[in-house]
């Protein structure tokens, strides 16, 4: 799926671009409102993500302009302005959803999938593929493959791997994994997270030369190519 990202902060734009690519989307970046408007008029996008505070043309005006010619295209607004009035103004301009900075990439992905599901029910599958290196996870069919070899996971192993795929190249502490995957506070007297990490390693790393799950002593685990 093609996504237009209009964001003047290069660091934020690149983070969004990378996150979208890792999740099966094809992003295009514009760094100001006028460029965003031009790209939106010249190309066919499945969704637009736009900051509100932009040079040359702000995101609200951009949203209104796009709505005049493409009334059905889903638009998600990003902004540091989080008051109720700001949100109402964004929705009144034609936005489908509104996300306040700073935000986590996985939260943006949840919003994207929800908006696309409403607008593109027949093709929502496209945004439900997580990929990293030669590993692929389909969130719809629950099928995991590495080098085209299907890997059978338990529901909890699947959820743990999904969390790691959504947060690659970042150290994940045992506490964070417990809260996000198990919805519980980590008890330092137990090793259940290490046990599940080992289960996962045996299934996705043991039979492959390139290892993806790595331990950071005293810190947690990191999902990366090494």
Which tens digits make up the pLDDT trace of 156-214?
Answer: 899 899 999 988 888 999 988 988 887 767 666 678 889 999 999 999 999 998 999 99
Contacts made by residues 213-216, CB under 8 angstroms, sequence distance 24+: 213/164, 216/171
Helices (H) and strands (E) in the chain, counts: 8, 11
For 133-223, CATH gives 1.10.10.10
- The pTM assigned to this predicted structure is 0.53
Which tens digits make up the pLDDT trace of 98-127?
Answer: 888 888 888 899 888 888 877 654 444 445
Q: Hey, where are the domains in the chain? A: 2-127, 133-223
Which tens digits make up the pLDDT trace of 134-159?
Answer: 899 988 788 999 998 999 998 889 98
For 2-127, CATH gives 3.40.50.2300
Residue closest to 46 by CA, chosen among 118, 105, 104:
118
Three-state SS at 47: strand
Which tens digits make up the pLDDT trace of 48-99?
Answer: 999 988 999 988 899 888 888 888 888 898 887 766 666 677 677 778 888 8
> Which runs of consecutive H residues, i.e. helices, occur in 24-132?
33-42, 59-69, 84-92, 105-119
Q: Which helix (H) or strand (E) holds 48?
A: strand 47-51
């Amino acid at each position: 799926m093609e996504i237009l990202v209009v964001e003047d902060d290069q660091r934020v734009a690149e983070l969004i671009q990378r996150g979208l690519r890792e999740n099966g989307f094809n992003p295009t970046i514009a760094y100001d409102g006028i460029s965003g408007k031009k790209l939106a008029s010249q190309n066919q996008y499945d969704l637009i993500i736009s900051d509100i505070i932009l040079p040359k043309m702000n995101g609200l005006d951009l949203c209104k302009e796009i709505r005049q010619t493409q009334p059905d295209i889903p638009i998600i607004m990003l902004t540091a302005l989080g008051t109720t009035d700001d949100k109402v103004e964004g929705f009144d301009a034609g936005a489908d959803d509104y996300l306040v900075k700073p935000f986590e990439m996985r939260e943006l992905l949840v919003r994207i999938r929800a908006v696309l599901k409403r607008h593109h029910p027949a093709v929502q599958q496209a945004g439900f593929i997580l990929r990293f290196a030669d590993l692929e996870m389909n969130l719809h069919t629950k099928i995991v493959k590495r080098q085209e070899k299907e890997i059978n996971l338990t529901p909890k192993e699947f959820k743990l791997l999904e969390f790691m795929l959504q947060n690659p190249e970042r150290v994940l502490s045992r506490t964070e994994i417990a809260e996000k995957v198990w919805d519980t506070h980590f008890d330092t007297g137990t090793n259940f997270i290490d046990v599940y990490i080992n289960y996962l390693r045996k299934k996705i790393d043991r039979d492959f030369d390139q290892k993806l799950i790595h331990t950071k002593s005293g810190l947690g685990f990191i999902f990366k190519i090494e």
